[in-house]
Structure 1
Amino acid sequence: MKSLDEGEVLIPTQIARNSDIRPNHISKVLAELKAHELVECINPEVRKGRLYRLTDKGDELVKNIDD
Protein backbone atom coordinates (compact mmCIF):
# COMPACT_ATOMS: atom_id res chain seq x y z
CA MET A 1 0.00 0.00 0.00
CA LYS A 2 2.87 2.33 0.63
CA SER A 3 3.63 2.24 -3.10
CA LEU A 4 0.37 4.17 -3.56
CA ASP A 5 1.31 6.78 -0.98
CA GLU A 6 0.93 10.51 -1.58
CA GLY A 7 -2.05 10.21 -3.92
CA GLU A 8 -0.20 8.24 -6.57
CA VAL A 9 -2.21 6.45 -9.24
CA LEU A 10 -0.51 3.31 -10.55
CA ILE A 11 -1.21 0.27 -12.70
CA PRO A 12 -0.94 -3.18 -11.07
CA THR A 13 2.46 -3.91 -12.65
CA GLN A 14 3.94 -0.78 -11.07
CA ILE A 15 2.38 -1.61 -7.71
CA ALA A 16 3.81 -5.13 -7.87
CA ARG A 17 7.28 -3.83 -8.74
CA ASN A 18 7.23 -1.20 -5.97
CA SER A 19 5.90 -3.66 -3.38
CA ASP A 20 8.07 -6.69 -4.20
CA ILE A 21 4.91 -8.71 -4.90
CA ARG A 22 4.98 -11.09 -7.84
CA PRO A 23 2.89 -9.71 -10.70
CA ASN A 24 0.79 -12.86 -10.86
CA HIS A 25 -0.32 -12.27 -7.23
CA ILE A 26 -1.03 -8.56 -7.39
CA SER A 27 -4.63 -8.92 -8.62
CA LYS A 28 -5.51 -11.02 -5.56
CA VAL A 29 -3.81 -8.51 -3.24
CA LEU A 30 -5.61 -5.60 -4.89
CA ALA A 31 -8.95 -7.43 -4.66
CA GLU A 32 -8.42 -7.95 -0.92
CA LEU A 33 -7.46 -4.31 -0.42
CA LYS A 34 -10.55 -3.23 -2.40
CA ALA A 35 -12.74 -5.50 -0.26
CA HIS A 36 -11.46 -3.66 2.82
CA GLU A 37 -11.98 -0.30 1.08
CA LEU A 38 -8.28 0.56 1.24
CA VAL A 39 -7.74 1.02 -2.51
CA GLU A 40 -10.00 1.88 -5.42
CA CYS A 41 -9.82 1.38 -9.15
CA ILE A 42 -10.50 4.68 -10.87
CA ASN A 43 -11.15 3.19 -14.34
CA PRO A 44 -12.79 -0.22 -13.77
CA GLU A 45 -14.32 -0.23 -17.26
CA VAL A 46 -10.96 -0.91 -18.94
CA ARG A 47 -9.49 -4.40 -19.09
CA LYS A 48 -5.84 -3.42 -19.45
CA GLY A 49 -4.17 -0.52 -17.71
CA ARG A 50 -6.48 -0.18 -14.73
CA LEU A 51 -5.41 2.58 -12.37
CA TYR A 52 -5.48 2.20 -8.59
CA ARG A 53 -5.12 4.66 -5.75
CA LEU A 54 -5.53 4.66 -2.00
CA THR A 55 -8.90 5.56 -0.54
CA ASP A 56 -9.07 8.00 2.35
CA LYS A 57 -9.24 4.98 4.67
CA GLY A 58 -6.13 3.47 3.05
CA ASP A 59 -4.29 6.78 3.23
CA GLU A 60 -5.01 7.05 6.96
CA LEU A 61 -3.77 3.49 7.50
CA VAL A 62 -0.50 4.21 5.68
CA LYS A 63 0.00 7.39 7.73
CA ASN A 64 -0.53 5.46 10.97
CA ILE A 65 1.97 2.81 9.89
CA ASP A 66 4.60 5.49 9.21
CA ASP A 67 4.17 7.03 12.69
Structure 2
Amino acid sequence: MDDETLKKYAYVSISSYRSKVVKAMEDDVKTPIKLSKDSGIKKNHISKVLRELKESGVAECINEEAKRGRLYRLTDVGEEIVKHINIDEE
Protein backbone atom coordinates (compact mmCIF):
# COMPACT_ATOMS: atom_id res chain seq x y z
CA MET A 1 0.00 0.00 0.00
CA ASP A 2 1.19 3.51 -0.72
CA ASP A 3 1.32 6.17 1.99
CA GLU A 4 -2.03 7.77 1.11
CA THR A 5 -3.79 4.41 1.15
CA LEU A 6 -2.14 3.58 4.48
CA LYS A 7 -3.45 6.84 5.95
CA LYS A 8 -6.95 6.01 4.77
CA TYR A 9 -6.59 2.47 6.11
CA ALA A 10 -5.66 3.90 9.52
CA TYR A 11 -8.66 6.25 9.36
CA VAL A 12 -11.02 3.36 8.63
CA SER A 13 -9.49 0.91 11.10
CA ILE A 14 -9.64 3.23 14.14
CA SER A 15 -13.44 3.19 13.94
CA SER A 16 -15.29 -0.09 14.40
CA TYR A 17 -18.28 1.43 12.55
CA ARG A 18 -16.21 2.44 9.52
CA SER A 19 -14.46 -0.95 9.52
CA LYS A 20 -17.74 -2.85 9.65
CA VAL A 21 -19.35 -0.80 6.88
CA VAL A 22 -16.31 -1.16 4.61
CA LYS A 23 -16.29 -4.91 5.26
CA ALA A 24 -20.05 -5.08 4.52
CA MET A 25 -19.45 -3.38 1.13
CA GLU A 26 -16.66 -5.78 0.23
CA ASP A 27 -18.35 -7.68 -2.58
CA ASP A 28 -21.34 -5.66 -3.59
CA VAL A 29 -23.14 -2.38 -4.20
CA LYS A 30 -25.53 -1.79 -1.30
CA THR A 31 -28.17 0.57 0.02
CA PRO A 32 -27.80 2.11 3.49
CA ILE A 33 -30.55 -0.19 4.82
CA LYS A 34 -28.74 -3.30 3.53
CA LEU A 35 -25.47 -2.01 4.98
CA SER A 36 -27.19 -1.50 8.32
CA LYS A 37 -28.41 -5.11 8.34
CA ASP A 38 -25.12 -6.58 7.12
CA SER A 39 -22.92 -4.59 9.51
CA GLY A 40 -25.17 -4.72 12.58
CA ILE A 41 -25.03 -0.92 12.89
CA LYS A 42 -28.25 0.99 13.51
CA LYS A 43 -29.64 2.88 10.51
CA ASN A 44 -29.30 6.27 12.18
CA HIS A 45 -25.49 5.83 12.33
CA ILE A 46 -25.04 4.52 8.78
CA SER A 47 -25.48 7.86 7.00
CA LYS A 48 -22.77 9.51 9.10
CA VAL A 49 -20.37 6.62 8.46
CA LEU A 50 -21.11 6.67 4.73
CA ARG A 51 -20.52 10.43 4.61
CA GLU A 52 -17.14 9.94 6.34
CA LEU A 53 -16.17 7.16 3.94
CA LYS A 54 -17.19 9.24 0.92
CA GLU A 55 -15.26 12.30 2.12
CA SER A 56 -12.15 10.19 2.66
CA GLY A 57 -12.38 8.61 -0.80
CA VAL A 58 -12.98 5.06 0.45
CA ALA A 59 -16.59 4.75 -0.78
CA GLU A 60 -18.77 6.41 -3.39
CA CYS A 61 -22.46 6.83 -4.09
CA ILE A 62 -23.30 5.84 -7.65
CA ASN A 63 -26.74 7.52 -7.79
CA GLU A 64 -26.29 10.67 -5.72
CA GLU A 65 -29.36 12.30 -7.29
CA ALA A 66 -31.72 9.68 -5.79
CA LYS A 67 -33.58 10.73 -2.67
CA ARG A 68 -34.15 7.12 -1.60
CA GLY A 69 -32.41 3.87 -2.46
CA ARG A 70 -28.96 5.34 -2.90
CA LEU A 71 -26.33 2.78 -3.87
CA TYR A 72 -22.86 2.74 -2.35
CA ARG A 73 -19.72 0.88 -3.32
CA LEU A 74 -16.05 0.92 -2.46
CA THR A 75 -13.62 2.95 -4.54
CA ASP A 76 -10.38 1.36 -5.76
CA VAL A 77 -8.74 2.62 -2.55
CA GLY A 78 -11.58 1.10 -0.53
CA GLU A 79 -11.10 -2.22 -2.33
CA GLU A 80 -7.43 -2.19 -1.32
CA ILE A 81 -8.26 -1.29 2.29
CA VAL A 82 -10.93 -3.97 2.75
CA LYS A 83 -8.36 -6.69 2.01
CA HIS A 84 -6.51 -5.72 5.19
CA ILE A 85 -9.43 -5.16 7.57
CA ASN A 86 -9.96 -7.90 10.10
CA ILE A 87 -13.15 -7.34 12.12
CA ASP A 88 -12.16 -10.10 14.57
CA GLU A 89 -9.30 -7.95 15.93
CA GLU A 90 -11.74 -5.83 17.93
TM-score, normalization: structure 1?
A: 0.91
Q: Pairwise mapping of residues 45-64 of structure 1 onto structure 2 (< 5 A)? A: 45-64=65-84
Q: Take 2:57 and 2:41, find their aligned partners in 1: how far apart are those partners?
A: 20
What is the aligned partner in structure 2 of residue 30 from structure 1?
50
The aligned amino acid for 1:37 is G
- Offset of residue 64 of structure 1: 1.9
- Offset of residue 65 of structure 1: 2.1
8 Å Cα contact 2:23/2:85 also seen in 1:
no
Q: Take 1:37 and 1:17, find their aligned partners in 2: how far apart are those partners?
A: 23
- Aligned-residue Cα RMSD (Å) equals 0.9
What is the aligned partner in structure 1 of residue 23 from structure 2?
2
Q: Take 2:70 and 2:80, find their aligned partners in 1: how far apart are those partners?
A: 23
Query: Alpha-carbon deviations, 1:10-62, whole Å to 9, x = none?
Result: 00000011111100110000000001111000000000000000000011001
Are 1:20 and 2:40 counterparts? yes
What is the aligned partner in structure 1 of residue 61 from structure 2?
41
Q: Which runs of 4+ in 1 moved over 2 A?
A: none
8 Å Cα contact 2:24/2:39 also seen in 1:
yes
Count of aligned residue pairs for this structure pair: 65
